[in-house]
């Protein structure tokens, strides 16, 4: 007895494969006239992988519509204080894959990590030793270190753009009723490459869950916690800009960061201090902590 069902199924599969191949080929070749070769390459690869994904999971019309609605909602959630699409990229690990692919830093250079969705440019310029806390926001922390090149020479005039969350686990841009420059600032290294400022000890916090990304985490039974950290962007003429974090070694979420951004080399020890400590920075009255964080920049083109 001859089985006909597998043959019919095979014919359907062959027809589907031929149809998808034709559609994919037509779309890829539609970019042939793009004057930018890199744009042609990226768009062709994007289309190829998107089409292959749809075939691999047998994407239904209803699932496609749900995906479009999800991306639409993510875009609608974005404004000048929140970037839901960066948050989505972070939560899917794409941001860290891009970091791994694009940030080929020489040995000895400080490692990079994600930017995050709450970076705001043009933070206020502050002087060495200033506090970035414009209202009580947590336990004071003295953050200090030296910015150097790969040979160990100090880099004077480097700019550190720093921002962090408060003890309530929110960034300034998440608190419309608070000072918008709270826990943000830019600092310039001194002639010996040193920098220092008063921050607050960061706390573990959850990424925003009131939007599409939060819905995705809930639907997939994932947590939203990030380990305690400070954000830094370091810039200096002649050197590659560095976007990085300072992670607190005592955080309980170092091994399960919701955005997969922890690198062991970026974990630091926050040292407890008391008011009688002779190294206590000006303006700190009670208990405080300190963290030393030296930074090494790679030259442009490295």
| 182 and 112 part of one domain | yes
Domain count, the chain: 2
| 162 and 46 part of one domain | no
Q: For residues 118 and 241, what is the distance between their CA atoms, to the nearest angstrom?
A: 18
| 117 and 255 part of one domain | yes
Residue 67: strand, helix, or coil: helix
| 262 and 227 part of one domain | yes
The predicted pLDDT at position 148 comes to 98
Residue 245 belongs to domain with CATH number: 2.60.130.10
pLDDT above 90 (res 43): yes
The predicted pLDDT at position 209 comes to 95
The predicted pLDDT at position 301 comes to 83
| 94 and 234 part of one domain | yes
pLDDT in tens, 180-223: 999 999 999 999 999 999 999 999 999 999 999 999 999 999 99
Q: For residues 164 and 86, what is the distance between their CA atoms, to the nearest angstrom?
A: 17
165 touches 105 (CB < 8 A): no
pLDDT above 60 (res 3): no
| 95 and 33 part of one domain | no
Give the Å distances, CA to CA, from 248 to 57, 119, 192, 205, 252.
Answer: 40, 20, 26, 13, 9
Bridge partners, 161 (sequence order): 186, 233
**Mean pLDDT of the 258-284 span:** 93
pLDDT in tens, 57-86: 999 999 999 999 999 999 999 998 889 999
The predicted pLDDT at position 87 comes to 95
The predicted pLDDT at position 12 comes to 80
Give the Å distances, CA to CA, from 73 to 62, 78, 90, 211, 233.
Answer: 16, 9, 17, 8, 29
90 touches 82 (CB < 8 A): no
Task: Choose among 174, 160, 158: nearest CA to 132.
Answer: 160
**Mean pLDDT of the 29-53 span:** 97
The predicted pLDDT at position 8 comes to 61
The reply to whether 72 falls in a domain is: no
The reply to whether 74 falls in a domain is: no
The predicted pLDDT at position 162 comes to 98
| 113 and 193 part of one domain | yes
| 47 and 142 part of one domain | no
The predicted pLDDT at position 80 comes to 86
The predicted pLDDT at position 225 comes to 98
pLDDT above 80 (res 54): yes
Q: For residues 71 and 149, what is the distance between their CA atoms, to the nearest angstrom?
A: 42
Question: What range defines the domain where residue 280 resides?
Answer: 85-296
The reply to whether 70 falls in a domain is: no
The reply to whether 245 falls in a domain is: yes
With bands split at pLDDT 50, 70 and 90, how would you rate the model's confidence at 104? confident
**Mean pLDDT of the 86-99 span:** 96
The predicted pLDDT at position 163 comes to 98
Counts of helices then strands in the chain (DSSP H, E):
6, 12
pLDDT above 80 (res 172): yes
| 125 and 39 part of one domain | no
The reply to whether 76 falls in a domain is: no
The predicted pLDDT at position 115 comes to 94
Task: Choose among 141, 217, 204, 219: nearest CA to 170.
Answer: 204
The predicted pLDDT at position 99 comes to 94
Q: For residues 105 and 107, what is the distance between their CA atoms, to the nearest angstrom?
A: 7
The reply to whether 173 falls in a domain is: yes
How many CA atoms, within 13 angstroms, populate the side-chain half-sphere of residue 136? 3
The predicted pLDDT at position 302 comes to 75
With bands split at pLDDT 50, 70 and 90, how would you rate the model's confidence at 33? very high
pLDDT above 90 (res 259): yes
pLDDT above 80 (res 1): no
The predicted pLDDT at position 285 comes to 85
The reply to whether 155 falls in a domain is: yes
**Mean pLDDT of the 239-244 span:** 97
267 touches 251 (CB < 8 A): no
pLDDT above 90 (res 11): no
The reply to whether 69 falls in a domain is: no
Looking at residue 185, what DSSP letter applies? Answer: E
Strands across the sheet containing 267-268: 184-188, 159-163, 229-235, 242-248, 267-268
| 51 and 190 part of one domain | no
The predicted pLDDT at position 5 comes to 56
| 137 and 181 part of one domain | yes
With bands split at pLDDT 50, 70 and 90, how would you rate the model's confidence at 137? confident
The predicted pLDDT at position 4 comes to 52
| 217 and 137 part of one domain | yes
Give the Å distances, CA to CA, from 217 to 34, 97, 116, 222.
Answer: 38, 19, 17, 5
Higher pLDDT, 80 or 155: 155
Give the Å distances, CA to CA, from 122 to 54, 198, 248.
Answer: 42, 19, 26
């Amino acid at each position: 007895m001859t089985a006909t069902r597998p043959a019919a199924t095979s014919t359907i599969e062959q027809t589907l494969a031929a149809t998808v191949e034709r559609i994919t080929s037509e779309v890829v070749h539609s970019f042939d006239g793009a004057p930018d070769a890199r744009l042609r390459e990226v768009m062709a690869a994007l289309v190829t992988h998107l089409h292959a994904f749809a075939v691999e999971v047998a994407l239904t019309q209803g699932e496609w519509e749900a995906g479009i609605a999800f991306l639409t909602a993510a875009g609608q959630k974005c404004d000048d204080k929140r970037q839901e699409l960066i948050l989505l990229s972070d939560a899917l690990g794409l941001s860290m894959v891009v970091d791994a692919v694009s940030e080929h830093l020489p040995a000895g250079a400080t490692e990079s990590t994600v930017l995050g969705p709450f970076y705001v440019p043009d933070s206020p310029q502050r002087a060495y030793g200033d506090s970035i806390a414009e209202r009580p926001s947590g336990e004071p922390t003295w953050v200090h270190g030296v910015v150097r090149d790969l040979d160990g020479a100090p880099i004077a005039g480097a700019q550190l753009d720093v921002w962090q969350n408060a003890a309530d686990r929110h960034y300034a841009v998440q608190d419309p009723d608070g000072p918008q420059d709270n826990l943000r600032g830019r600092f310039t290294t001194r002639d010996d490459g040193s920098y220092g400022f008063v921050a607050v000890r960061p706390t573990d916090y959850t990424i925003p869950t009131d939007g599409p990304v939060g819905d995705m985490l809930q639907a997939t039974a994932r947590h939203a916690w990030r380990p305690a950290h400070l954000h830094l962007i370091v810039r200096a003429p002649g050197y590659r800009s560095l976007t990085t974090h300072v992670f607190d070694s005592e955080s309980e979420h170092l091994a399960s960061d919701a955005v997969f951004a922890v690198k062991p080399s970026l974990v630091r020890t926050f040292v407890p201090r008391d008011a009688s400590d002779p190294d206590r920075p000006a303006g700190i009255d009670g208990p405080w902590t300190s963290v030393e964080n030296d930074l090494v920049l790679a030259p442009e083109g490295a």
